[in-house]
Structure 1
Amino acid sequence: MSTLTTPPVRKTGAPPRPGRRWAAPDRPVWEEPPGRAGLAGKAVVLAAACLAVLFPLWIVIVTSLSTKQTVNEAGGLVLVPQGITFIAYQELLSGGQVTRAALISVGVTLAGTAFSMTVSVLGAYGLSRSGSLGHRWMLMTLLATMFFGAGLIPTYLLVQTLGLTDTYLALILPSAVSVFNILVLRGFFMGISPELTDSARIDGAGDLRILWTIVLPLSRAVIAVITLFYAVGYWSAWFNASIYLSDQDMMPLQNIMIQLVQKQEPPVGMGQAIKTGRLSQLSVQMAVMVMALVPVAVLSPFVQKHFKKGMLTGAVKG
């Protein structure tokens, strides 16, 4: 008699043989670990992307630190540093128009971000409670504002009627709330386990206490991301100041940078330094650009670790 033998079955989870890369039997080709050529290609692409971002920034920084002679010899933007000097930054920060504009931008950014985050968090928390008063109608109204706007002229007339022109409130209130940010916060708040809030409510906690002690500590990631969104928006804003402010002394830093780069107008107090040859107009322009970029470049790495978690969780749970 002949005995039937069954071929050995290879287990999916069996360890790979020495010297051979193990792959799951049904795994698509694009999910396979890349080889040496793939890793080298990724490294080249990432290096090229980093170079494309850092090269213009390097030129701006080097030009801002160059003397007028170096700028003239280079014919404009400087690539190789020669004769490094900080005179452009010293003149900008010596208490003139640029210093005042930088302080205005910092104040508007801090106050505007605090106000926007307060309104957005309270609104998002109220909309995340399905049983709150007028919940559905309020949500539909906010969604409608994302697709239909009043326009520039009605908005300007409203700001003028309220007496906000030539005030710093005109730089904050017209763009204080973003419906998109509220929806992201709402989606994150809805993802918090209702058992936590229900248990706190049984213990006698009100909505504000639940928001402060339970919801906000669990939402640090999305709070950090939305705070960065608002802060960058206020710091980079220039349009509101250009239409609502007529006093030159109230202009923020971005508007001063526009005057330098586009209109070629030197800041108040620096015209004589440029005329006498101590400073190059181009070095001053690049120095102001560096000053405008520094706060965002400093804050972004601290929020980057929360960015993926905050945005994806808020978007998926919403």
Structure 2
Amino acid sequence: MTTKKTEQAPRSTKIKEPLGSRIFDIVNVLIICLLLACVLVPLIHIVAASFSVPSRFVAHKGILLWPEGFSLDSYKAVFKNMYIWTGYGNTLFIVIIGTVLNVLLSMIAAYCLSRKQVALAPTIMKLLVFTMYFSGGMIPFYLVVKGVGLYGSRWALVLPALVDTYNLIIMRTAFVSVPDSLEESAKLDGANAWTILWRIMAPLVKPTVAVITLYYAVSHWNSWFNAMLFLRDKTKYPLQLILRQILIQNDTADMTAGADYLVSETIQYATVIVATLPILCIYPFVQKYFVKGVMIGAIKG
């Protein structure tokens, strides 16, 4: 009589995580939850206040997690303001034209400075980095913009800041990470520098291009200080300068004419939502490029 030996499958053994590691994970989760609350609670309060009935909102004390009633009066008042619409138009002009020029010039400059055969490229990079820490100041900047005839024009918000040094460094680092053999092969096939940049280099550094595009776009969208310096015609104001007047100077006269004066208490919150909603809608579509693009610019220098 033969006996069959049954082989038992080895039991899966779990590696016990050290106590210190578990405590570290718990502390990390708590810190992240705290940071998330610091971001979400003010945002929820702003959204809730913007949809609240003005009289009930004024009577409420503390943070709102849900609207006090429901009213669209504040949004109706915001969209009645002509300067909100002109501000949107000016901001879209600055963001679209400015970002396109920023990205194009940053890519061209970064490609030139990343090539080993370009004379004085390291020296030029050092001079560019120097501008990150030292500048002429606000008064010389104002005099230069006024001297070249850009004062009072929307181009004063675009042309003086065509290339940001930090974004240029990130873009240059991405080009440096591309193997030289690809460029050499393209040259053997008869490609010139312009073709190599847009047909070979640009597709390979697409995540970095997406990152600096978002950086430039958000910078233009949030910019208001230069507009305050160089613009006097309110119809040329970008949206953020209009928003500043509403929030800081409490300038709601254009929106509360003929309306309940209590609406001015919720108009500020509705204006914040109207001003930030486009960026919140665009960001998820480029978020996937963030980690890869930033890490490309951070690993190699």
TM-score, structure 2 as length reference: 0.89
User: Where in structure 2 are the equivalents of 1:153-302 lying within 5 Å?
Assistant: 153-266=139-252, 268=254, 270-273=255-258, 276-277=259-260, 280-302=263-285
Percent of residue pairs identical = 30
Deviation at 1:279, TM superposition (A): 5.4
Cα deviation digits, residues 267-299 of structure 1 (max 9, x gap): 53x1314xx417521211111111222122222
| 2:47 corresponds to | 61
Matched, 1:303 2:286: yes
Deviation at 1:255, TM superposition (A): 0.9
Given candidates 78, 95, 98, the residue that maps to 1:92 is 78
Deviation at 1:261, TM superposition (A): 1.2
Deviation at 1:142, TM superposition (A): 1.1
CA contact (8 A) 1:76 1:282 kept: no
CA contact (8 A) 2:57 2:68 kept: no
Q: Distance in 2 between matches of 1:279 and 1:207?
A: 62
Cα deviation digits, residues 181-209 of structure 1 (max 9, x gap): 10111011000011111100110001110
CA contact (8 A) 1:98 1:267 kept: no
CA contact (8 A) 1:67 1:279 kept: no
Q: Distance in 2 between matches of 1:130 and 1:173?
A: 29
Matched, 1:152 2:145: no
CA contact (8 A) 2:55 2:262 kept: no
Deviation at 1:145, TM superposition (A): 1.1
Cα deviation digits, residues 211-250 of structure 1 (max 9, x gap): 1111010111100110011001000000000010111111
Counterparts in 2 of 1:202 and 1:29: CA distance versus 1, 3 Å: farther
| 2:14 corresponds to | 21
Deviation at 1:18, TM superposition (A): 3.4
Q: Distance in 2 between matches of 1:79 and 1:94?
A: 27
Q: CA RMSD in A?
A: 2.4
One-letter amino acid of the counterpart of residue 112, structure 2: G
More helix by share: 2
TM-score, structure 1 as length reference: 0.85
The worse-fitting range, judged by mean Cα deviation, of 169-178 and 230-239 is 169-178
What secondary structure sits across from 1:66 in the alignment?
A: coil
Q: Distance in 2 between matches of 1:39 and 1:146?
A: 37
CA contact (8 A) 2:174 2:205 kept: yes
Q: Distance in 2 between matches of 1:42 and 1:138?
A: 42
| 2:7 corresponds to | none
Counterparts in 2 of 1:247 and 1:196: CA distance versus 1, 3 Å: same
Counterparts in 2 of 1:156 and 1:80: CA distance versus 1, 3 Å: same
Q: Distance in 1 between matches of 2:134 and 2:18?
A: 45
Counterparts in 2 of 1:81 and 1:165: CA distance versus 1, 3 Å: same
How many pairs are equivalent? 293
Q: Distance in 1 between matches of 2:247 and 2:81?
A: 21
| 1:143 corresponds to | 129
The worse-fitting range, judged by mean Cα deviation, of 56-65 and 78-87 is 78-87
The worse-fitting range, judged by mean Cα deviation, of 44-53 and 106-115 is 44-53
Q: Which runs of 5+ in 1 are unaligned?
A: 1-16
Counterparts in 2 of 1:144 and 1:49: CA distance versus 1, 3 Å: closer
Counterparts in 2 of 1:29 and 1:40: CA distance versus 1, 3 Å: closer
Q: Distance in 2 between matches of 1:193 and 1:169?
A: 38
CA contact (8 A) 1:241 1:252 kept: yes
Deviation at 1:43, TM superposition (A): 4.1
One-letter amino acid of the counterpart of residue 243, structure 1: L
Q: Distance in 1 between matches of 2:39 and 2:236?
A: 33
One-letter amino acid of the counterpart of residue 114, structure 1: V
One-letter amino acid of the counterpart of residue 282, structure 1: E
